Structure 1
Amino acid sequence: MCIMAMAWDAHPRWHLVLVGNRDEYHARPAAPLGRWTDRPGLIAGRDLQSGGTWLGVAEAGRAAIVTNLRGYGGPQADRASRGALVTDLLAGDGPYADIGQAALDDFNPFNLILVERSRAYFLTNRPAPLRTALTPGLYGLSNGTLDAPWPKTLALKAALLNWLTEGADEPEQLFAALRLERLPEAGIAPATPSDAPDEAAASPIFIRNPTYGTRCSTIVAIDREGLGRIVERRFDAMGAMTGVTAEDFRW
């Protein structure tokens, strides 16, 4: 997952709204969004290469998303899968389920946001392991530091803010923002190139590339009563939509 925007505890109706794109090599196999039979209560897509997920929700009252972190070189094959960290935190079991004790250095460079019913956290492991409680607000994250003013991050945060202030109900406006293929002009370009050689140094929100590009767009919306919906749209190597999945749940 390479970009997301999130409003947490910042709106009278919505407890959490999270929108994001997963950018990945098209050759890497993945299962669509769904309920996991081996981790009851977990709803997410699944990386079929390593077994974890990049974004998901748990009916126990958790949501989490991970992004890669630029500037530290390509991934090392002997490291644990970053998706395992997301999965354990969501499920509340496994070797990385305890946010305070999880060995963050086991993983290649990452950023992660975990939201619970009454708390939210930002985790990273570069340049050193960090666990930070978040205050209610609007956040954006790509492959740099939290809220780094990259053009695409600013644009997605602005789209989410507009959706919230306009009192919208349907996700189409947010999905349209996640499909933006024009690089916004406002903001500061990344200072370091992507560790994925097929990704441009400064890319738009939606990456159309036959080798490495946007694989899916996901929206999570949970109201103050705990009623939630997660919707995933999937895309092929040419950027055409190949499927949609939606799941309703309650925290």
Structure 2
Amino acid sequence: MSRRVLITAGASGIGRAMAEGFAAAGFDVWITDVVAASLADCPDTWRKTRADVSDEAAMAHLFAEIDAEWGGLDVLCANAGIAGPTNAIGDIDLAEWQRCVSVNLEGAFLATKYASPMMRAAGQGSIVYTSSTAGIYGYPNRAPYAAAKWGIIGLMKTVAMELGPEGIRANAICPGAVEGPRMEGVLEREAAIKGMTRDEVYAGYAAGTSMRSFVTAEDVANMAVFLGSDAARLVSGQVIAVDGHTENPDPKV
């Protein structure tokens, strides 16, 4: 029997790279996303559901579908997230804060809430959370995002302790600066705030790592596939950065 993985926000970026990695490893893949066009662009061999991870009714329905069609779930990649506002703390609207925390943190909670009973019934499972290096360091001008990503670390540590005796592992991946459209938006917004060019901000991020490099979605996906595999059978409760070793979380040139 093939192993089964659900990846939230799996139609693009890191999520899609995870889906491709798990598929290559022989997993049956189910993805969610809020962008219908991105879902349609994914392989027909993947099961696809349009869902907002912060909507509890939608998540309950999704997991009922998974249980009905698959009869269980082996790996959950709670990957959905949004960048949120890039602004000084005094200029962030409460609605912006709430939306960022809702998608990034509450979405991970809801996915865990509904995946855990299936994993408990099977006596095994692996939950892989996508946090961020913003979940390890403070990030100026990114308060809602950093708060949510720190929250994911606390959620993961608690889930690892709570569900570990039942054979369920939980770990968090902390990507650094990942090449792609989302990071481009962050670079442009930070450049505007700091009075710098996009290239200067990019160089600052790269210089803030000991390996002087951004990472790719595939780098993050490779770690997720490892954590979902039997090779990681006793790896749990861990915060694993895939970031080229971040030295300076406040990039400067």
For the aligned pair, the TM-score class normalised by the smaller chain equals under 0.3
Instruction: Give the TM-score, by structure 1 length.
Output: 0.27
| Bigger-Rg structure (1/2) | 2
Greater RCO, CA 8 A, separation 6+: 1
Q: What TM-score comes out, normalization by structure 2 length?
A: 0.27
